[in-house]
Copies of this chain bind each other. A is one copy, B any other.
């Protein structure tokens, strides 16, 4: 019996390191999710990868590579994380470090762009060459896929959809700009605006649960939908995606989100149709699934 080829895949975020042993079908043969330490992230990442490798070998698999995706601005070719505020990293040559430690083919990628490629391979965007994945969690990002490839930009910083200025001179963002999309529509933004307007300190999920019976919740959520529709229409007019996939915690708002959002998008577009807007199929696993795809590519 020949050993199954697998890769070690990690989605390294500011809160959690989501690791898995993944086969070529994208399925996880083993998982390990750890809290990201505040200091010494690199040694903890290497230990997680070594633990995953041991698990894979104990199970009789053939480990052919490793893939790690991170937030921030990075040079994916050279595997250097230029800046990742969540990790406190600046100019970390992650690819070289992991190659030296693991002695395996390694790939380093951007978490959201990798998630986009994963949605295209095995998720909600199968068969789409041009689409956009918009994860709406605490903040908002986007993977822009054009002609089958992720748009990376000149400095690896493309896709900052949460910080496009949609309301001129609008409310201040934690990023220092004003009127950013995620000030109004994000897990943190909806909750903060609800409280600033006199509401209780509630999560966006709880606020969505109050819709229809809480006028303040209705107003803050409606304003969030207005801004998201405006942002997605900007994206549609600029990039002409065939599909928009929403991910992240807020994408679980279901009927409170997709129906009214689609109506607002259609109302804002006069001479072209809006693309379909659907929920992510891979959810929180998309980043790790993308890391596995990159790892198999590196192993080839």
Give A residues with C-beta under 8 Å from B: 128-131, 142, 144, 146-147, 149, 151-161, 163-168, 173, 175-178, 226-227, 230, 233-235, 237-243, 268-272, 275
Question: Does B226 lie within 8 Å of A168, measured CB to CB?
Answer: yes
Question: Does B158 lie within 8 Å of A234, measured CB to CB?
Answer: no
Question: Does A160 lie within 8 Å of B238, measured CB to CB?
Answer: yes
A239, chain B: closest CB distance, angstroms: 5
Known: A146-B152, A158-B239, A165-B230. 17 other contacts (CB 8 A): A130-B153, A130-B154, A142-B238, A146-B153, A147-B149, A147-B152, A154-B243, A156-B240, A158-B240, A160-B237, A160-B240, A163-B237, A164-B234, A165-B268, A168-B230, A177-B271, A238-B238
Majority-rule SS of A interface residues: loop
CA gap between A161 and B236 in the complex, in Å: 10
CA gap between A163 and B227 in the complex, in Å: 16
Name, among A144, A165, A239, A243, the residue most crowded by chain B CB atoms within 10 Å (CB to CB).
A239
Q: Which residue of B lies closest to A158 (CB)?
A: B240
- Which among B154, B177, B233 is the interface contact of A240 at CB below 8 angstroms? B154
* 21 A–B contacts from the bound complex (CB under 8 Å): A130-B152, A131-B154, A144-B239, A146-B146, A146-B149, A146-B152, A147-B151, A153-B239, A153-B240, A154-B240, A157-B240, A157-B272, A159-B238, A160-B238, A160-B240, A164-B237, A165-B268, A173-B270, A176-B270, A177-B270, A238-B239
Q: Which residue of B lies closest to A151 (CB)?
A: B146
Question: Does A168 lie within 8 Å of B165, measured CB to CB?
Answer: no
Given A175-B270, A177-B269, A271-B176, check contact A241 B164 (CB 8 Å): no
Given A168-B230, A226-B168, A234-B164, check contact A240 B155 (CB 8 Å): yes
- Which among B154, B164, B165, B242 is the interface contact of A129 at CB below 8 angstroms? B154
A275, chain B: closest CB distance, angstroms: 7
Residues of B with C-beta under 8 A to A156: 240
Question: Does B155 lie within 8 Å of A242, measured CB to CB?
Answer: yes
